[in-house]
Structure 1
Amino acid sequence: MLLQDDNDDQLFTARPLAYAGAVVIVLISVSLSFLLHRLMPHANLSLLFLTGVLIISARTGLGPSLVASVLSFLAFNFFFTPPYYTFEVADDGDVATLIFFLLMAAITGNLAARMHQEMIKRRLSLRRISNLYEFSRRMSSATDSQEVLNTLVNHFARSHHCAAAVYLPDNRSAPVQRAGSGPEDKLPDLDIEQAWSTASIDPVMQDAWQLLPLITDRERVGLLTVHSGEMDSEQLQLSRSLCEQAAVALHRTQLVADLEQARLVSETEQLRSALLSSVSHDLRTPLASIIGSTTSLLEYGDSFSNENRTELLRTVVEEAQRLDRHIQNLLDMTRLGQGTLSLRRDWVDLHDIVSSAVERMRDTLKGWPLKIDIAPDVPLLWVHGVLIEQALVNLLDNALRFSPVDGQISLTARYVDDRVEIRLCDEGPGIPPDEREKIFDMFYTARQGDRGNLHGTGLGLAIVRGMIVAHGGTVTAHGGDRGRGTCMQIRLPVGQSENGES
């Protein structure tokens, strides 16, 4: 069989001990018979010897059981059949008893030995099935080609107790060893290129090395070499099945890799298109306003009243600030995507963070009442204050763009369950429940609710989540407090011990 069990080797190496055990069992039977021969009838003593024969047969095999039968027959005759201490038999009835004993010992020993062999075969069969199941499980769960190859060579190496290696073609279609098992000096010293060019769908034997092609329905994908000697038909059939399974697993992992590459290319193209759209609209719009206002001031400045000039300059400032926020979002998103965002933590008062964020949005907030309510028990935060401030600025900007004129915006903060909970609510149309999680995806803009037909880069909320998550916190979107608008909720841990950074 292809999968050998260590019990096979033990069966042969332990055979001398089995014969020695047969002798010991007979000696024990003799000793017990001497102790019990005054209490038991003469004929019943044979049952002690027969019990010993059964024990040897069940534990070893046919050979030791026959030895135990003959020795028990001789011992019973020599010690317990008159005349004692001779091999002569005086009574014809004793002759029949001894012959019957020898016959029963041989039959029962043979049956017990056969039962023992069947148990070994069943144990080996169960071990083979378990190994094949484990092999199939590993193949089906392998995530890359190297894991498939390592599983294949290790399985064959354990099965045959010999070296194995597997070869795959490189970019020039030349076979290259990708995995091996066993010492380097035992790996195949063969002309692999010749074997690769001439190998068919059937295994090939070369210098005690079995060459097994890895074949799918369409093509040959590799070559397995096993130093196992000649295989019988059952071994070859099973080996081919295992190689076919490995070939299918290799093909599957390659397809997964190709699909992942295609997905990355697709996502890259989508991000590129979204970025170009963002640059073309969200950056050009404030630039157009700035250019228009400054051009009007340069060409018609003298004809404008002071109020008009002030209004145009205010437009320039507001659009420049808007442009600065867009550029800052792009830079922050780049830092988050590249993993270069570093946290410079310090103990910061939430009042200071909120005040700085509101001051940055002061001109934009005109026309929208802002209500701030921070509970007195809110503790200091161990955070990078600038990043938390930027997150609040992005949330305020998002709320302003989608709130109606004179719509109230409220910012509340509470200390709940060892975390600081910040809620920023507006009175806009709201966000559909099925899109409240998607809005935190990069470049995603909802088609309904808060987003409506208004344009945005789709970066602001993604940046907010990245900054908050970097601090060990969470940010989620919920419905408004009075069934109208949207509430953005930030939850931040308090202290160094909860985020593990200093």
Structure 2
Amino acid sequence: MARYFKTLFELAPAGLIWGATWWLMFWLDGRVNLANMAMLLVLGAALASLWLPLARAILVSLGSVLLFNWCFVSPRGSLTVEGNQHLLLLAAMLALSCVTALLIASLRRQAALARRQAGQAERLRAFNDSLREARDWASLAPLLQAEMQTQLDASVQLMLLHQDQTLPQQNLPEAVQWQTDGGQAPSAEQSAGLWQCLRLAQAFGPGTGRFEEQPAWYLPIRGRGASLGAALLQPSRSQALDAGLLTHMQLLCTQMGLALERLATEHLAQLARDEAASQANRNALLAAISHDFRTPLACIMGAASSLLDQDARLSPAQRARLAATIIDETEALNNMTANSLQLARLDAPGVLLRLDWESAEEIVGAVLRRARQRHATLTSNADGPTASELQARLEPGLPLLRCDALLLTQLLGNLVDNAQKYAPRSCIEISARTALEGSARFIVLAVRDRGPGVGLAWRERIFEAFQRGAEQQHAAGPDATSRRGAGVGLAACRAIANAHGGRMRYRARRHGGASFECWLPSVTPPQAEEMSA
């Protein structure tokens, strides 16, 4: 019933046009000659053909000419025609009406084809956009299946090689991934056809020129290189005869193949970048070991040789200074080694941390104890300047940190060591507080001093590996030895912060000094009962 009313609604304009045409012809009967009235009928037929299908337009035109003969051509009330002139007029009316209907029908078909092609072009553009936004090999298959099912309204099954899989010599099920309707696997015959389509990179099925007796389309998913998969489509009988639809489906498969090639290329490029970065880290570590590690080793060897060869001629104070030198240089060498190895490990792709819920107070306390013990050991064995005063300031009620406690302890230890090197005899403060940035909440661990700070040009570069600042590179005098290093401490701090999803910042203090801050995202800890469970 709904279809019947839809047909009437579509044909209503043609009926109105014919009604108006006949009313006008009856009104003009006797006022104009027969030829002018015939032109009105031809005009009505042309306008009605804009809405009527071709067959109906020709039938209506034939009926209108016969009715025109009955009503207006003498003898009226009869289908007989007097004279060749009237017969020629009626034949011309019928011919013009049919030709007009044919031309309008052709224009309507061309307009419908143009609209269809424009719609396909728009859908293809949207499909290309969705493929371009995809970043995962497995996410592309559902996009192609959904697009094909939308346009074909039939079953679509896809077979794709895995991302790192080359075409095997035999048909191995584990070498491919499937995208099927409702999880229903294709039959053995269909699977064999898909593998054949994949290997030959050619389309099979009706209208393709190959194996046209097959009821389904087998379309290769190929790019500029080799074929990467195949699609099985089961169109209806009318769709199977539509060459334009087949071309469009193959174009979708080709776009899919290009997207797969792009992802494979990006994957290989990322592997190459990771390998290059890993190689650069290895080279930098070798350079640091061969250059910056020589000085503390030479100091240790010199002090140990003096203790061994000149023990009888050394005073107790001289022995203590040599022992302190060995301890100090060993500690420096240990720190450089730990930072270099940590930097190499954390900069590698896919690093995993030992995350647990930790207390910021315990981490800061461990750093304080280590720094004070080290200072006590050094000052008890050597005469030197009074070390920086070290204190802590923690915000009450700090939430737990989701972190690797050893890494954060190393981070704060590096910052304290740097502050003691470059801000001697100043107050050094370890602080922990919460901060808001936009809608995000952070826990900020900072080491602050009242030293000379860092020049504006070096405030970002100091966090890069093997960068120590212009002042430290040209340092000389009594402080040069104490400031020796490979320039990996702050780089390791940044790598540790980045591995925790945070970041390192340098902030110049208002009345002089520096503040090195580690901003870590605050994560809501689980409830007590969840932790106990």
Aligned to 1:430: 454
The within-5 A match list for 1:230-241 is 230=240, 232-241=242-251
Asked whether the 8 Å contact 1:349–1:379 carries over to 2, the reply is: no
Aligned to 2:473: 452
Structure 2 gap segments, 5+ residues each: 15-47, 64-97, 438-443, 475-482, 526-533
Asked whether the 8 Å contact 1:348–1:383 carries over to 2, the reply is: no
User: 301, 308, 328: which is aligned to 1:318?
Assistant: 328
**CA distance in 1: counterparts of 2:194 and 2:50, whole angstroms:** 53
Post-superposition shift, 1:136? Answer: 1.4
Post-superposition shift, 1:452? Answer: 1.8
Residue type of the alignment partner of 1:162: S
The within-5 A match list for 1:371-386 is 378-379=395-396, 381-382=398-399
User: 493, 514, 518: which is aligned to 1:464?
Assistant: 493
Point out the more displaced range, 259-268 or 311-320. 311-320
Point out the more displaced range, 163-172 or 465-474. 465-474
Distance 1:58 1:426, change over 3 A: farther
**CA distance in 2: counterparts of 1:237 and 1:22, whole angstroms:** 31
Aligned to 1:398: 418
User: 148, 152, 159: which is aligned to 1:156?
Assistant: 148
Aligned to 1:475: 504
Task: Provide Cα deviations, 1:387-416, integer angstroms capped at 9, x if missing partner.
Answer: 665433211222344x38x67565486979
User: 509, 515, 519: which is aligned to 1:488?
Assistant: 515
Aligned to 1:344: 358
Aligned to 1:367: 385
Aligned to 2:166: 170
The within-5 A match list for 1:60-209 is 124-160=116-152, 161-168=154-161, 170-174=166-170, 177-182=176-181, 183-185=184-186, 189=190, 191-192=192-193, 195=196, 199=200, 205-206=210-211, 207-208=213-214, 209=216
**CA distance in 2: counterparts of 1:473 and 1:408, whole angstroms:** 28
Distance 1:423 1:138, change over 3 A: same
Aligned to 2:32: none
Post-superposition shift, 1:262? Answer: 0.8
Asked whether the 8 Å contact 2:198–2:227 carries over to 1, the reply is: no
SS of residue matched to 1:257 = helix
Residue type of the alignment partner of 1:269: Q
Post-superposition shift, 1:307? Answer: 1.1
Aligned to 1:266: 276
Task: Provide Cα deviations, 1:131-157, integer angstroms capped at 9, x if missing partner.
Answer: 211221123333244344443344334
SS of residue matched to 2:466 = coil
SS of residue matched to 1:205 = coil
Asked whether the 8 Å contact 1:424–1:488 carries over to 2, the reply is: yes
Asked whether the 8 Å contact 1:211–1:225 carries over to 2, the reply is: yes
Task: Provide Cα deviations, 1:192-236, integer angstroms capped at 9, x if missing partner.
Answer: 488359836676533433343445445555444433475555445
Asked whether the 8 Å contact 2:193–2:218 carries over to 1, the reply is: no
Asked whether the 8 Å contact 2:506–2:517 carries over to 1, the reply is: no
Point out the more displaced range, 238-247 or 115-124. 115-124
Residue type of the alignment partner of 2:312: D
Aligned to 1:38: none
Post-superposition shift, 1:465? Answer: 4.0
Residue type of the alignment partner of 2:467: A
Post-superposition shift, 1:270? Answer: 2.1
SS of residue matched to 1:178 = strand
SS of residue matched to 1:303 = coil
Post-superposition shift, 1:259? Answer: 0.7
Distance 1:393 1:345, change over 3 A: same
Asked whether the 8 Å contact 1:196–1:223 carries over to 2, the reply is: yes
**CA distance in 2: counterparts of 1:399 and 1:181, whole angstroms:** 62
Output the TM-score relative to the length of structure 1: 0.64
Q: Does 1:210 align with 2:228?
A: no
The within-5 A match list for 1:295-306 is 295-306=305-316
Post-superposition shift, 1:294? Answer: 3.5
Residue type of the alignment partner of 2:217: Q
SS of residue matched to 1:189 = helix
Q: Does 1:307 align with 2:303?
A: no
Output the TM-score relative to the length of structure 2: 0.61
Task: Provide Cα deviations, 1:293-317, integer angstroms capped at 9, x if missing partner.
Answer: 3343234322211111111122222
Asked whether the 8 Å contact 1:369–1:409 carries over to 2, the reply is: no
Distance 1:413 1:254, change over 3 A: closer
Distance 1:273 1:414, change over 3 A: closer
Asked whether the 8 Å contact 1:216–1:247 carries over to 2, the reply is: yes
Asked whether the 8 Å contact 2:197–2:219 carries over to 1, the reply is: no
Post-superposition shift, 1:370? Answer: 3.0
Post-superposition shift, 1:476? Answer: 0.8
**CA distance in 2: counterparts of 1:290 and 1:65, whole angstroms:** 106
**CA distance in 2: counterparts of 1:19 and 1:197, whole angstroms:** 46
Distance 1:68 1:397, change over 3 A: farther
**CA distance in 2: counterparts of 1:21 and 1:422, whole angstroms:** 76
**CA distance in 2: counterparts of 1:121 and 1:360, whole angstroms:** 85
Count of residue pairs brought into register by the alignment = 472
Distance 1:231 1:139, change over 3 A: farther
Residue type of the alignment partner of 1:499: S
**CA distance in 2: counterparts of 1:159 and 1:381, whole angstroms:** 57
Aligned to 1:226: 233
Post-superposition shift, 1:255? Answer: 1.3
Distance 1:415 1:429, change over 3 A: closer
Residue type of the alignment partner of 2:460: E
Residue type of the alignment partner of 1:137: D
**CA distance in 2: counterparts of 1:255 and 1:303, whole angstroms:** 70
Structure 1 gap segments, 5+ residues each: 1-9, 27-55, 72-105
SS of residue matched to 1:488 = strand
Post-superposition shift, 1:446? Answer: 1.6
